[in-house]
Amino acid sequence: MEVKNMRFKTPKELVATRLKEAGFRRPKLLFHPKRGDIFNRIAYGLVKGKFGIFTEKEIGEELLPGCKVDECYEIKLLAFMGDEKPDSAIVRGRKGIVNFSDIDFEYPLIAVDLSFYNKLLPREKKSLLNQIEITYGVVKDFFTPENFVLTSVSNEARKELEKFFTPYIPFSILDKPEQKEIIVLDPYGDKDFTHEEITPQTLIIVGGIVDSGERMIGSTKEIFPNVKHRKISYKGSIELVPDRINDIVKIVCQYLTEDISLSEAVRQNITRTAKLKWLRKALEKNLVRFSLKGKILRGIPEKLYKQWKEEFELTDFHFKKGAKHIGGFFVFKSTLFEKVEGKILKRKKEIFLLKELKNEDVVKVYS
């Protein structure tokens, strides 16, 4: 059984606790919120003194009702126009009446390593830069901007980064990581990634590899080869783990900040592509073959079909795509085995001989 983690508290959880202690429940933003996890990013700004919280008395005018845009620990963050009366306001550029300065943000660093940047194709480099930008946003949604860095950046990569992130690169570049604890996320690592190895002094590294042609399978082992290499998996399998950097980092951040297992974090972030890739292999592995009047029929037990649908939120779209990969299949009820009158072995595959097949034995057909 997978052990659940002792999680890190996010900035918004720390700030929401302080707001509750100060007697505020419905602060309203007096400016237009940006994208991402609004509450977490505002919480960071409050602690760093970029924003401040005030009551109507300090502002000197009535606060208009707003609508909820986020919530944490029963603290509703309001913005825009709405029906909820705020009890305070968050203002840009002023420190405010609540002191957040003693709140310490202690989180691991998350890095994208660019050791292989020069080996990527032009379209892969472009995709990598886009993923880095999204990944930076993911880290800000769970931790802080300071918790995202790059490692092993060549001169060529630095120039491309400077062009992409105009007018300046918004995060740090570590030439030589000083952290004593470094963990590289590697799909072929010998052990699963676990919260038990993570502290605020840990550097978690994701390989900046965008490989459209599977040219660099296994290359991650060359990134900081003398440190721990850990894999992200779903119940021991790497098949369902997304290969996009931002998706991997989201899984890590969610696992480290929520009371869920690593497998559950993976399950909640499975992409459509990963689902299809996994389903094709699962269908091939679990096909049951029947022979009826000389014709071979491929089937999947109803129990297994329902399990996959529920566990991975699969729809007819996924099963239709999977069916094309294997030449079609049908979902059968367990009663079908009552109509089996024998079996044979053909090309090392077991084939059940059916005397008949009725509609009540068939749940669904995918061709």
d(CA 23, CA 49): 20
d(CA 109, CA 200): 7
Q: CB–CB of 212/142 below 8 Å? A: no
pLDDT of the residue at 363: 97
Q: CB–CB of 245/116 below 8 Å? A: no
Residue 6 pLDDT class (50, 70, 90 cuts): low
Tens digit of pLDDT for each residue in 58-81?
999 999 999 999 999 999 999 999
Kindly report which listed range (107-111, 273-277, 306-310) carries the lowest average pLDDT score. Answer: 273-277
Residue 154 pLDDT class (50, 70, 90 cuts): very high
* Predicted model pTM: 0.90
- Residue 4 pLDDT > 70, yes or no? no
Is the pLDDT higher at 214 or at 267? 267
pLDDT of the residue at 1: 42
Mean pLDDT across 344-349: 91
DSSP for 284-325, written as a single string: HHH-EEEEETTEEEEEEEHHHHHHHHHHHT--HHHHHHHHHH
Tens digit of pLDDT for each residue in 22-62?
999 999 999 999 999 999 999 999 999 999 999 999 999 99
For 307, the token pair is 């399990």
pLDDT of the residue at 175: 85
pLDDT of the residue at 253: 98
Tens digit of pLDDT for each residue in 283-320?
999 999 999 999 999 999 999 999 999 999 999 999 99
- Residue 5 pLDDT > 80, yes or no? no
Mean pLDDT across 240-246: 93
Alpha carbon 270 to its chain centroid, in Å, reads: 8
Tens digit of pLDDT for each residue in 123-136?
999 999 999 999 99
- Residue 213 pLDDT > 90, yes or no? no
Q: CB–CB of 221/188 below 8 Å? A: yes
d(CA 136, CA 131): 9
Mean pLDDT across 172-181: 87
* Mean of all residue pLDDT scores within the chain: 94
Is the pLDDT higher at 197 or at 177? 197
CA distances from 51 to 28, 99, 101 (A): 12, 11, 12
DSSP strand pairing (109-113 vs 148-151) = parallel
d(CA 302, CA 329): 12
